[in-house]
Amino acid sequence: MEQQRDKRTLHSLRKHIDELLATGATIIARDPVTLVSEGQTLKVRHGMLVGHSGLLDLVEPLTDHQWPDALRQMAIDLCIQQLDEAIRALENEAVVMASEPANDG
């Protein structure tokens, strides 16, 4: 009997996913392959297993939905406000670090 050649690729990735499944991970989607392991969502992207936070898991379903212009604008405004706050916090942190005396001893 002739042996059939294995056409699968990314053997290390497959082995890693098998190990995750053996420790309790669950496949929740197949295209792309998406697993949940210990509360973290992991997706196969470009041959790598990439972790996503819970917030990023909301992005795809939200972008697939048609939103009224007013709601879309509210979401955009909220994102811009949060980005502005994060930028200000980083700028303030940089100013504080620059004003601290060097500890060259």
Residues 9 and 15: beta-carbon distance below 8 Å: no
pTM for this predicted structure = 0.43
Look at residues 13, 29, 52 and tell me which one is the last residue of a structural domain.
52
- Sheet strand arrangement including 33-37: 26-30, 33-37, 40-45, 48-52
Q: Assess whether 46 and 76 both reside in one domain.
A: no
Measured between alpha carbons, how far apart are the two ends of the chain, in Å?
77
Count the domains in the chain. 2
Residue 104 reports pLDDT greater than 90: no
Q: Which two tokens stand for residue 60?
A: 């795809």
**What whole-number distance in Å separates Cα of residue 91 and Cα of residue 86?**
9
Residue-averaged pLDDT of the chain: 80
The pLDDT of residue 18? 92
Q: How far apart are CA 91 and CA 10, in angstroms?
A: 43
Q: Which domain holds residue 93?
A: 66-99
**Whether 72 and 39 share a structural domain:** no
List, for residues 8-44, the tens digit of each pLDDT value: 677 888 899 999 999 999 999 888 888 988 878 888 8
Residue 59 falls inside a structural domain: no
44 and 71 belong to one structural domain = no
